[in-house]
Amino acid sequence: MPKKFDIEAERARLAAMHIYEDKYSEFDLICGIDEAGRGPLAGPVVAAACILPRDCEILFLNDSKKLSEKRREMLYDEIIRKAVSYGVGVVSEKVIDELNILQATYEAMRLAISKLSVRPQILLNDAVRIPGVDIRQVPIVKGDAKSVSIAAASILAKVTRDRMMMEYDAMYPGYGFAQHKGYGTAVHISAIKEKGPCEIHRRSFIGHFISNE
């Protein structure tokens, strides 16, 4: 028999992920910030900013990396529906090559914040402090597993980027973008060596794979 779902245990897990939201409960507009795509060899880096209502309950909300693709897609729709506001920032591989991945990630985060329909009172960031932002920031290491706000942002960023990579797979067939989403798998590296880079490859990331061509 399948294991019975324990809703009380799930609610207790989610309550533990409200520790930072509870700590800063004097603020009504708490915004989680996270990114997807710092490590891949191809495609953009995507950041999301998400403000959830104070008493919002989204069952199974968690770090996007701990969720199946199907679960992420379902949660994405629920987050969009329930959020006070959200914003997504996309920075291309060409800008990544121009600036470097850290600065490009900061730019994606600033873009995400700028697309919010309301101004957050405090930002809960996954591990980083974003330069050039005049809103109070709280960097939290592994924040996507510790804060519901950051977890929601991580899902928005991950699903947005994965959908983009699926579209790129149709545009640039043969690299396997739909499967590995641009990460440096053996199949992806082999395709780069065989076919050469395509338009969305990060030249600053793949130089040692094409240096002998």
Burial class (CB in 10 A: 0-12, 13-18, 19+), 99: middle
pLDDT for position 210: 75
Tell me what pLDDT residue 5 has.
Answer: 78
Chain Cα centroid distance, residue 196: 28
| Pairing verdict, β 30-36 and 122-126 | parallel
The pLDDT value recorded for residue 1 is: 36
pLDDT at 87: 98
Along the chain (213 residues), what's the average pLDDT of each consecutive run of 10 residues?
75 96 98 98 98 95 95 98 98 98 98 98 97 98 97 98 98 98 97 96 90 49
Give the amino acid at 29.
Answer: L
Neighbours of 29 (CB within 10 A): 17
Backbone φ and ψ for 22, nearest 5 degrees, come out as: -70, -40
**Where in the chain are the domains?**
7-163
Q: pTM of this prediction?
A: 0.95
| Domain 7-163, CATH number (from 3.40.50.2300, 1.20.1730.10, 3.30.420.10, 3.90.1170.50) | 3.30.420.10
